[in-house]
Amino acid sequence: MNITDHKFEKIEDPFGILEGERYEFHLYASVDEEDELYSPEGFYIRVLYAVTENEQKIAGLFLHNRANDSVLDFELEEDEIELVRTYCAGHLNA
């Protein structure tokens, strides 16, 4: 899997319920045609990313079809999840 582009925004917490800050990333990715995630339309990964004083972590992760924005019923492998976490952490303050 190769992350080709992204966009993200800070999620506002108007009630102050959540500890720290939350961000929503949309990571646009490509995979080989042999990969089970492959589709001609492509997909993106919607990541809810939590940042507190003590840690940064993925709070939610969803795969979406780019053609119709439907949620895909796939899970990423551990190494792909680590790639996503590293990517989000590296681009948070960029």
Give yes or no for residue 62 having a pLDDT over 90: yes
Q: Which two tokens stand for residue 26?
A: 């949309």
Q: How many independent structural domains does the chain possess?
A: 1
Are 58 and 88 in contact by the 8 Å Cβ rule? The answer is yes
Q: Report d(CA 35, CA 52) in Å as an integer.
A: 35
pLDDT digits (tens, 9 = 90+) for 31-51: 899 988 888 888 999 999 999
pLDDT of 17 reads: 86
DSSP 12: P
Residue-number span of the structural domain to which 38 is assigned: 2-91
pTM recorded for the entire structure: 0.89
**What are phi and psi for residue 84, nearest 5 degrees?**
-65, -45
